[in-house]
Amino acid sequence: MTPVKSAIGVAAILWLSASTPAASQGDKTSAGGEAFENVQSDFTEAYNRKDVEGMAMAFSEDAIRVTPSGIFQGREAIRHNLQDALNMGLHDYSVRRTVSRSYGAFIFNAGEWQAKLGNQPFHGSYTAILGREGDQVKILEETVTVAAPDK
Structural domain contains residue 138: yes
HSE-up of 120 (CA within 13 Å, CB side)?
A: 17
For 65-96, what is each residue's pLDDT tens digit? 999 889 999 999 999 999 988 888 887 777 77
Write down the pLDDT at residue 117.
Answer: 87
Give the 3-state secondary structure of residue 22. Answer: coil
Structural domain contains residue 149: no
For 3-61, what is each residue's pLDDT tens digit? 444 444 444 444 333 333 333 333 445 677 777 777 777 877 787 789 999 999 999 99
Question: In CATH, what number is assigned to the domain containing residue 104?
Answer: 3.10.450.50
Which residue would you say has higher pLDDT here, 93 or 122? 122
Enter the pTM of the model: 0.78
What is the tally of structural domains in the chain? 1
Q: Which amino acid is at 17?
A: S
Q: For residue 50, how far is the Cα from the chain centroid?
A: 13
Structural domain contains residue 133: yes
Write down the pLDDT at residue 150.
Answer: 72
Structural domain contains residue 150: no
Structural domain for 135, as ranges: 3-144
Structural domain contains residue 18: yes
